[in-house]
Amino acid sequence: MRMDEMSSAAFAEAVKKDPLVFLPIGAMEAHGPHLPLGTDTFQPEFVVNAVCENVGGIIAPTINYGQHSSTRNFPGTIDISFDTLRSLVMDILDAFQRNGVGKVVIVSGHLGSVHRAAIKLACERAARQGLKVMFLSDYELAYLKKTEVCEGMPDGHGGIIETSRIMDIRPDLVSSERTEGGFVDMRFMVRADAESCLPQGFGGDARKACKEKGRLVNQFVVDTLTDLVRKNFEG
């Protein structure tokens, strides 16, 4: 059930049954020349829709912006600050609780560590106020398939896994002209031009991506998260 399609009365009625509420967190972020800016939105929305079909619940509108470091200077990356993101998630979780929501699953497409820390702090505060909350990036699950899907090759932002997953979810948005992106080790330096760690704007051999790999990873993520949600919220 999509929250934005429900009436106020229908939502109030649904909340009485203590439903799970899913909150997808997307991003507008450069993902190399072959992937759309909404890559980190399409992935968690796909996962949340599928998991919600398996376990039931309400899907809240996606937060479509996040905090970005290494891709911040690439065209099309629209980042919000750590404080804004933390406050935004905090306020939404407060409002959920005020509405009687007791169980929330947050799935972020973007894996950035600062981005996730902002969301995590908001979740910890909500947990202390009594909310039962799970928070992950679907990438944390997708990466469990890295050895199988990437056959030992290095892979990262906009690489084999992400390109394959988008080829499964939104093939119309993936360019057929794909190359390989390298990684540069910043040796612990914190730099204003953090994007130089990704000279091509993405990392991994996107030529090795295919729809079948994406289907395999997406199915694995959906199945694994379905299990996790059942174990933590049901019974």
Q: Name the site residues for Zn ion (rule: CB under 5 A).
A: 39-40
Please state, in angstroms and rounded to a whole number, the distance separating the CA atoms of residues 114 and 210. Answer: 30
Nearer of residues 15 and 117 to Zn ion, judged by Cβ:
117
Q: Where are the alpha helices (DSSP H) in the chain?
A: 8-15, 39-55, 82-98, 113-128, 138-142, 146-150, 160-169, 211-233
Sequence-distant (6+) residues with CB within 8 A of 124 are none
Shortest distance, position 110 Cβ to Zn ion, whole Å: 6
Nearer of residues 125 and 215 to Zn ion, judged by Cβ:
215
Nearer of residues 39 and 218 to Zn ion, judged by Cβ:
39
User: What is the number of alpha carbons within 13 Å of residue 39 lying toward its C-beta?
Assistant: 28
Nearer of residues 19 and 38 to Zn ion, judged by Cβ:
38
Question: Do 76 and 41 form a contact (C-beta atoms < 8 A)?
Answer: no
The residue whose Cβ lies closest to Zn ion is: 40
Shortest distance, position 143 Cβ to Zn ion, whole Å: 12
Shortest distance, position 43 Cβ to Zn ion, whole Å: 7
Shortest distance, position 204 Cβ to Zn ion, whole Å: 11
